[in-house]
Amino acid sequence: MRTGQAVNDYDFSTEPSDRRPGKRCAVMRARVEKPRAFATLMQEVLADDYRGRRLRMSGWLRSDKVAGHGAIWMRIDGPDRRMLAFDNMHSRPVHGTTPWQRYDVVLDVGTDAAIIAFGLLLDGGGALWLDEPAFDIVGPDVPTTETEKPRAPQNLDFIE
C-alpha cells in the first residue's frame, strides 16, 4: 500500500538488487526536488501470532541524496487503532548518500495488539532502497528501539 501526506510526490518501484544477484529490492524516489511531505510503502498484518513478544523488523537500506528522513518503520496498534508502540527511526534517520547498511526496528507487541503496520518511509528529496527485509521474534536481551519519551516536561514555553 502506498500512503502518506504526499504520495503523488514519490515514485514506488522494484529493481534488481545490486546486493543480491537475481533478487529485487524496493525503491522510493522523489518525483520533485522538494516533496511537500512524506510517503510510505507499507503493509499491515494481524498481530495475533506476535502478541506478548518482541518483534524485530530489519532490512538493508541505501540512499541517494536523501534530503530529509529515510527509514524503515513499524507501529503496533490496539483494537481501536490506538497506537501502542512506534518507531520510524526519527532519532537515527538515513540521509544523504549512503552505501548499503542494515537497520533494525524493535518493538514489544502488547497482549492487546491488533495490527502491526510496517514499511519504508521517505520524507524529502532523493531516493531510498530497501533490500532483504525480515521479521524475527527476539528475546528480551535485544533492546527495543522505540523513541524514548522524556521523564519531565521539556521546553514549556515552546520557544525551541
| CATH superfamily membership of 2-138 | Galactose-binding domain-like (2.60.120.260)
Asked whether the beta carbons of 66 and 124 are under 8 A apart, the reply is yes
CA gap 59, 38 in Å, rounded: 20
Residue-wise pLDDT for 83-100, tens only, equals 999 999 999 999 999 999
How far, in whole angstroms, is CA 6 from its chain's centroid? 16
Q: Residues with Cβ < 8 Å from 152, sequence gap 6 or more?
A: none
The amino acid at 25: C
Residue-wise pLDDT for 109-156, tens only, equals 999 999 999 999 999 999 999 999 999 999 999 999 987 555 567 667
pLDDT of residue 86: 95
pLDDT of residue 74: 97
| Burial bucket for residue 56 (CB in 10 Å: 0-12, 13-18, 19+) | middle
pLDDT of residue 157: 72
Cα three-residue angle 61-144-6, rounded to 5 degrees: 45
- Residue by residue, DSSP assigns 22-67 as T-EEEEEEESSSS-SSEEEEEEEEESGGGTTEEEEEEEEEEEEEEE
158 — pLDDT class (breaks 50, 70, 90): confident
